[in-house]
């Protein structure tokens, strides 16, 4: 039973480590994409803003040109953030999660069995204790009913000895 529990816990630990590594890789890729997106937005804004603003300023007022330019910059930034944050789970992650869930179920079953064995042992000890207590607390040969008489005779004898 102990080796089974160790094997199951070992499997659980390995699956958690693998899931953690996959999650770290996914976060690293996501960070790289976000960084690229931010650099692209920055370069785009620097290069394109000057050109578009000058072009728009020739046809519209300076305020309207600035508003149009700001809207387009915001659209590009939102597009890159959506692309960077879109990461689905792979079949590898799902299979490792299944293994982890199976290992948790097995460990829980094993622990419930151990819990039941401890409970049965505790009940057995209580039954033995109750049996011993009933033997110890029994009135063997009716001695409890005689004890007050013995005390009364002892008191009378003490009184007679003190008078004499």
Q: Which two tokens stand for residue 53?
A: 């603003």
Q: Which two tokens stand for residue 98?
A: 């299944």
Q: What is the SS3 assignment for 76?
A: helix
DSSP state of 1: -
Total residues found in the chain within this entry: 164
Rounded distance between C-alpha atoms, residue 16 and residue 35, angstroms: 28
| Least confident interval from 61-70, 108-117, 151-160 | 151-160
Rounded distance between C-alpha atoms, residue 92 and residue 21, angstroms: 12
- Residue-wise DSSP of 99-111: HHHHHHHHHHHHH
- The helix (run of H) or strand (run of E) holding residue 123 is helix 91-136
Q: Taking a C-beta distance cutoff of 8 angstroms, is the pair 99, 15 a contact?
A: yes
pTM comes to 0.36
Q: Is the pLDDT higher at 54 or at 93?
A: 54
pLDDT at 35: 93
Kindly calculate the radius of gyration of the chain based on its CA atoms and give it in whole angstroms: 42
DSSP state of 86: -
Digit-coded pLDDT (tens) for 11-68? 888 888 888 889 899 999 999 999 999 898 788 778 878 888 889 889 989 899 888 8
Rounded distance between C-alpha atoms, residue 117 and residue 106, angstroms: 17
């Amino acid at each position: 039973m102990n080796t089974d529990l160790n094997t199951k816990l070992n499997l659980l630990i390995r699956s958690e480590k693998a899931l953690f590594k996959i999650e770290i890789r996914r976060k690293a890729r996501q960070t790289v994409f976000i960084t690229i997106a931010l650099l692209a937005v920055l370069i785009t804004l620097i290069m394109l803003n000057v050109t578009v603003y000058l072009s728009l300023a020739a046809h519209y007022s300076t305020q309207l040109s600035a508003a149009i330019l700001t809207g387009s910059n915001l659209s590009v930034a939102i597009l890159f953030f959506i692309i960077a944050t879109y990461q689905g789970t792979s079949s590898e992650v799902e299979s490792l999660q299944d293994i982890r869930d199976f290992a948790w179920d097995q460990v829980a079953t094993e622990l419930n069995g151990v819990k039941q064995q401890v409970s049965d042992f505790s009940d057995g000890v209580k039954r033995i204790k109750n049996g011993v207590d009933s033997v110890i607390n029994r009135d063997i040969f009716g001695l409890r009913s005689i004890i007050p008489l013995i005390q009364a005779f002892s008191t009378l004898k003490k009184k007679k000895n003190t008078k004499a």
